[in-house]
C-alpha cells in the first residue's frame, strides 16, 4: 500500500507502548508550552513593548509558535499511529530535536533573566513562569525524543516497506527482474521465470 494509506488496523505492543508513553509526555510538554506562552506574554507586556516599543522577546515568541507547530505534528503522529497510519518517525523526531535545542537556549535565557536585579514585580513573576514552562517542556520533549526515537514500527519489516513502494503483481512480474538481464519473462502456472 502507498504512503498515507492504512497499513494495518491492529494495535501491536510497540504501538500501544508508544501511545501509553507518548500521550502523557505530550500533555506535559503542552502544559510547559502554555506556561512558557503565559510567561513570555507577561514579560512582553510589562517590558514596555505594549506601549509601542519593540519587544526584547522576539526570538522567544518565534520559539513559542514553532514549538506549538512541533507539538501539533507530534500529536498528529501519535493519533495516526493509533489509527494504523505510517507517518515518518524520523521527521517527527528531527523536529523534536530542533525545538529541543531552541528550548534549552530559552530555558537558559529565562533563568538568567529572572535572576537580574532590575527585573522586579510582575516582570519577575512572568520570567519565573516562562522559565518553569521552558524547563518542563524541555524535559518532556527530551523524553519524547527518547520514547519515539527508539521505538520501531511494530509489525513492519523490510519486505513490507519494499512492497509498499514496489508492489509485485502478476501484471508487472516481468518488469520486476533485475536491470541488465536479458531474456523474456513467461508466465506459468507456478509463477514467472526467466527464459
Residue 134 has pLDDT above 50, yes or no: yes
**In the structure grid, which three cell numbers stand for residue 62, read together?**
518565534
CA 89 – CA 130 distance, rounded (Å): 29
Residue 21 has pLDDT above 60, yes or no: yes
42-83: pLDDT as tens digits: 988 887 655 566 677 889 999 999 999 999 999 988 887 655
The residues near 28 (Cβ < 8 Å, ≥ 6 apart) are 136, 137, 139, 140
pLDDT confidence of residue 170: 52
Reported pTM? 0.67
Helix (H, G, I), strand (E, B) or coil at 179: coil
Top-ranked range on mean pLDDT: pick from 2-11, 15-24, 38-47: 38-47
**In the structure grid, which three cell numbers stand for residue 94, read together?**
528531527
As a whole number, mean pLDDT of residues 123-132 equals 93
Amino acid at each position: 500500500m502507498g504512503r498515507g494509506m492504512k497499513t494495518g488496523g491492529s494495535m501491536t505492543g510497540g504501538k500501544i507502548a508508544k501511545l501509553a508513553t507518548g500521550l502523557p509526555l505530550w500533555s506535559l510538554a503542552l502544559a510547559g508550552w502554555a506556561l512558557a506562552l503565559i510567561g513570555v506574554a507577561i514579560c512582553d507586556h510589562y517590558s514596555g513593548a505594549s506601549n509601542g516599543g519593540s519587544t526584547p522577546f522576539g526570538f522567544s515568541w518565534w520559539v513559542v509558535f514553532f514549538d506549538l507547530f512541533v507539538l501539533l505534528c507530534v500529536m498528529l503522529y501519535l493519533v495516526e499511529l493509533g489509527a494504523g497510519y505510517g507517518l515518518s518517525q524520523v521527521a517527527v523526531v528531527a523536529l523534536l530535536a530542533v525545538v529541543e535545542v531552541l528550548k534549552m537556549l530559552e530555558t537558559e535565557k529565562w533563568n538568567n533573566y529572572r535572576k537580574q536585579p532590575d527585573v522586579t514585580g510582575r516582570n519577575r513573576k512572568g520570567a519565573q513562569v516562562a522559565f518553569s514552562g521552558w524547563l518542563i517542556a524541555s524535559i518532556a520533549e527530551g523524553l519524547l525524543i527518547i520514547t519515539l526515537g527508539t521505538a520501531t514500527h511494530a509489525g513492519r519489516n523490510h519486505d513490507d516497506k519494499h512492497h509498499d513502494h514496489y508492489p509485485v503483481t502478476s501484471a508487472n512480474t516481468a518488469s520486476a527482474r533485475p536491470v541488465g538481464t536479458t531474456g523474456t519473462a513467461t508466465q506459468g502456472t507456478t509463477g514467472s521465470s526467466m527464459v
